[in-house]
Structure 1
């Protein structure tokens, strides 16, 4: 897990104030509607802990043979990628290696696609494969990499026939600022980004003094993980220590629904957390975080076993649930300029020929070209003037453009009428325009 993400110097107070404007509007969720539920999907297999640990042993051996680490630009990283790729190739995946350059060295991402599933609904799971230069990185992040690898191999063993297209990724240079995953996402055409139903991230899931943390991003993904742990009678908490510091941020910044798991890094476990999870209060979740002692001894088997099973549970639950056929779409493709740090502008879609109210899972697809998406506040305005907040401004949201599909509970609204997308740029220096947007019923 990387220490930080570069932030833009902006008028943060103005952004925060602007983010509160219209805060009474009902919130929308980016990404898929709530899951159809476990009964609608196939049950996941148990992921053998011994198999996951065997991968960690290999990663440790690779680091030991290559200067003690698996860092970006070092021989140990490429050897780690070659090991994972060979396993996937033998299991019937279609793999590709993506190259990029960072800090004067060549980096690599590994992408693996399982055949079948709806190509217009991609479910992806990923983990960063690189370590810091000071150690082998077995918890950070051999643990996530090994669990994702073994889940992919379980898909092959089961010859799974998913409803969604399954894709797996291992990212390079995460420790230098999410470089590999940013490169992957930034090189996806907007049409391909729109096909993602979700991205699941696993970074440090075997910490020796573990907590059980769940990302609170997409509600459907979050519920999938919480339901799994509720079935084990293991309490969870919302992940805050590494929020935005791992590869899910690269996907979230372009509007792809994200979720994931985490067992803690350098923060201290509280007495209350030790009471419900065990372990040692007053001690870091991982005392070897970014250190040379992050080796195969730096793993809690119970946490790694549970989280590996949770990875599989999410892939099977979200990947095999019934898909929803597309509905009728109403679109406006006329460009509307968004003034820099100015007043809100609107673009209108007129819905006709429908009866009754709008659905509880109305989809608002947005394509806004902008040089700093964090400046933007976006609302969907119903025909009666009710506003539904799609996106707040954020000083931490530094990516270009907003290409996303938001889910809105509009069941209290009459379907027919003039619906508006309202966009306001609330900070100076960057400009853009509404390229297109649509409502799908």
Structure 2
């Protein structure tokens, strides 16, 4: 079978910083945190936690009020990001000949806000009925369905729910369809909104959320630091347009980068405790799929959640795979700034990785210095505190999820 090259021609997101792609990447490279303190008035106990929101996002302005009203917030964020990526790719919103073009989307939570709203109306407000739109607002495939309808994409329209690896797997599966020739164009990415009270309390009960207040929340997420206290949840949407390389060149599209490989595996050992061996398998598969060697990799965007259990296992996996070369392997965790977007994490980190390759600039792990680097996380070349400008040929983006599901994406830079 002839395998086609796959170009990345569109990037789009709803940025937690409120700006565009250039602003997003500039702030990452500056080590600027988007994490703020979230305080709600919920009863019986308000939420008080570090959080990454998108307060500047106006769904009516981005989508139009009639369309926005048909969506839960996760679908609003996802569709807005998808539209931004589509426009960035220079593709018209309407057109013919798209019966083989498709959507592959990731979300861990789907429309949980819609369901929670129904619970509140029934149990707290004593209503006998909830909105008849609740099912279509809450279904996990709402985002990809709306994207397919709005852009006239008649090929596959699928959603992937694989916890924190959801959108990385969605991107990988989209990549495979374009590479095989099954689809000429795939719009892919992910979106999630974990503000539902029950969701936030569930994560809190796991004891993996970083504490913080108005003064400390911006520095609450500290991957690989000895004093790390846990992850920080965030909302958002991020999207990429993947396109057959020859098709992209023929229409004169700008190519941000190339997606070259995808590897996935399962630890098959524990629901929440990661295992280095499973991560190594996914890393090896991604490299082999891309036709790359460890010596070709100039950067790894780490999963890096800032949990006591996860960070050292990921570093151990990198050290096992890269061997003696690990000490020269640049690694950073951008979750230190944009938080953990759950099902959208793989997509926003894929965008960060593609931009790093395109701009030859590695964003840092914010709040991490050599003085507070955990002994158990040493052995790779952590990009500390400040951006690093360096030529980049290829990079990996890691997504390692609860359930033991691992996904690794491999990207190549496009010569300028």
What's the TM-score once normalised by structure 2's chain length?
Answer: 0.26
Where is the strand percentage greater, Structure 1 or Structure 2? 1
Larger Rg, first or second structure (1 or 2)? 1
Where is the helix percentage greater, Structure 1 or Structure 2? 2
What's the TM-score once normalised by structure 1's chain length?
Answer: 0.25
